[in-house]
Amino acid sequence: PKYKKFQKKLLSYAESHGIPTDLPYQQLPEEFRRKVWEGDRGFPGVRGFFRYLERKKYKMHVRIFISRYRGYARCPDCEGERLCQEARDVYLGGKRITELTNRPISEVRQFFDDLRLSASDEAVAEKLLKEVRQRLEFLVKVGLDYLSLDRVTSSLSGGEMQRIQLAASLASSLVGTLYVLDEPSIGLHPRDESRLIDILKQLRDHGNSVLVVEHEKQMIEAADYIVDLGPGAGELGGNLIHSGDLASLIANPESLTGRYLAGQLRIPVPVFRRPANGRGLIVRGARQHNLKNIDVRVPSGVLTCITGVSGSGKSTLVQDILYPGLRRLKGVASEPVGEHDGIEGWQEFSDVLLVDQTPIGRTPRSNPITYIKAFDDIRQIFAATREAKAHNLAPGHFSFNVPGGRCENCQGSGVVTVEMQFLADVELLCEECKGTRFKSKILEITYKGKNIAQVLDLTVHEALEFFKAHSSLVRKLKVLQEIGLGYLRLGQPASTLSGGEAQRIKLASYLSKPASPRALFIFDEPTTGLHFDDIHKLMRAFDKLLSHGATIVVIEHNLDVIKSADWIIDLGPEGGQEGGYVVAQGTPEEVSRNDRSHTGQFLRQVLGR
């Protein structure tokens, strides 16, 4: 919207010069393309517009805007190898440095293990070689053997970045240091998790303290000392439930975590599985990145789990091929689609939805109830009061997203942002509305003794009781409670929500709408940040979606989710170039009998086989 003026100039210029606006840019004659790109008097052209933006790059939103339209081409001089010719002409063991950095870490480690130098070279390089071999070994130990050394850090997941830092810490041999890790097991297969635990124990044994925020059973059971907070979340949490060893945690009847670890509470193995005989989707010839020209079938109407060790090709299959490929087939503009031969059976699905952990909004005005459309009901309730009618107030007056009833000083944000140019922006409480977001005349209107600002400060639990007479609103709020978000405040800014909370709010928005049969939902590690009890609630939400006729595809490492799936597609057997194959397809019981599957080996334990 901010650059609408430029769009008007572009359209006006096109009209005055006879340039058709109903044709794609590449189909325009060369002369017209030059005019649009270079511009003329009174119109700066597309190039001039981006030159203007370059001068505003100190603003974060401008940098993000520019990045959407910027492409990168390989450098013709170094051919993408980044080094000068002299550096590229140096060989070690018959390899140039760029021939090593573009290979998986596992291969580079093998190269240095096998490297044999002359006596004189060995004397010079002995200490360096020891450091290189040690650091490569640590990267392998933290489960990153599938990455290449020249991988751009911006393309790494949060879990991968955290494990690289962990490997660097091991290599530094620090002593007397406190390490704080926030869910280091994110993105890790159970096989790799045991390796991570070994590394954390090494750090401990070197004389360091390791503090881990974690939900994974394997990690909790390996801890020397456990601090359990609760008993619930939000308003119901914040109390110290337990501090001590594993045995005393399991014996503590107040601890929800302890009851799950003791087996008193559990996520049960389904009594029956939905038959996976629906034709569904078939992805043919998937060969993007490390995928080995594989064919994969995703049955319709069931819960399918895509599993495999880190780097086995799960995200490539789902996020680079399946999701963008389906969107393109349905005529929706999408990002580039990974290499594959085709997708069969896509017509069977009415819609395809990716439910990821990206924020539901980036401003203080975005919140859980606006996302699930519950705020519409609340505004109508306030507009229907006698006081509101007497002052001719409509539902729009109770919104902080449009002018009318909102505080115009902060434009309904409750805070005023002070731009600090090269420093981070500072947010100050709005002096006019004192953070309530509304004008004083709007705050005078009450429903059951509370004004709109006070209602937005209620938790979902409290709001369900407060609005119990309004069935439409209760139905929407009830979904938030059912998936474990009852502790959230109705008006809590979206910018304060975690990725896991944002993902569950998106799920709630679909569950609160009328059932959309034949929709395909794709989730990428939905258990990130979830306690055992939250996962239990998530599985019930999945069951509800499936009962509406939906199909669910989940990339997941959590064994409680995997054992509850109707169908598993296990990729591997390893990560990187040794992955990308379909190791096993079938029910959890069938996959557990496959000796080649790392996932199957762990499934045997949870299925009791």
Average pLDDT rounded to a whole number, residues 276-290:
89
> Do residues 260 and 532 touch, judged by C-beta distance below 8 A?
yes
Q: Token digits for 454? A: 């006070």
Backbone angles phi, psi at 427, to 5 degrees: -105, 125
Q: Please list the residues that pair with 522 across neighbouring strands.
A: 354, 553
The residue among 433, 466, 496 that closes a domain is: 496
Residue 267 included in any domain? no
pLDDT at residue 204, as a whole number: 94
Max CA-CA distance within the chain? Answer: 96
Place of tokens 């990130």: 528
For the cut 80, the answer to whether the pLDDT of residue 514 exceeds it is no
- Determine what percent of the chain is predicted with pLDDT higher than 70: 99
Residue 160 included in any domain? yes
What is the pTM (predicted TM-score) of this model?
0.81
**CATH number of 479's domain:** 1.20.1580.10
pLDDT, one tens digit per residue, over 116-136 is 999 999 899 999 999 999 999
Residue 238 included in any domain? no
pLDDT at residue 448, as a whole number: 95
Of the two residues 94 and 495, the one the predictor is more confident about is 94
72: Cβ contacts below 8 Å, ≥ 6 apart: none
> Do residues 138 and 167 touch, judged by C-beta distance below 8 A?
yes
pLDDT at residue 515, as a whole number: 66
> Do residues 446 and 440 touch, judged by C-beta distance below 8 A?
no
Q: Token digits for 365? A: 């005005």
pLDDT, one tens digit per residue, over 439-490 is 999 999 999 999 999 999 999 999 999 999 999 999 999 999 998 899 999 9
Q: Residues 202, 111: one domain?
A: yes
pLDDT, one tens digit per residue, over 133-159 is 999 998 988 888 888 998 888 777 767
Number of domains in the chain: 4
pLDDT band at 184 (very low <50, low <70, confident <90, very high): confident
Q: Determine the structural domain holding residue 394 and report its residue range.
A: 368-496
For the cut 90, the answer to whether the pLDDT of residue 222 exceeds it is yes
Residue 271 included in any domain? no
Least confident piece of the model among 162-166, 380-384, 591-595 = 162-166
Q: Residues 557, 585: one domain?
A: yes
Residue 584 included in any domain? yes
pLDDT band at 332 (very low <50, low <70, confident <90, very high): confident
CA distance linking residue 566 with residue 550, whole number of Å? 13
Backbone angles phi, psi at 449, to 5 degrees: 85, 0
Average pLDDT rounded to a whole number, residues 482-506:
88
Q: Residues 502, 386: one domain?
A: no
pLDDT at residue 333, as a whole number: 64
| DSSP designation for 104 | B
pLDDT at residue 334, as a whole number: 64
Q: Residues 436, 483: one domain?
A: yes
| Cα-to-chain-centroid distance, residue 531 | 17
Q: Residues 124, 31: one domain?
A: no
pLDDT, one tens digit per residue, over 549-577 is 999 999 999 999 999 999 999 999 988 88
Backbone angles phi, psi at 235, to 5 degrees: -60, -25
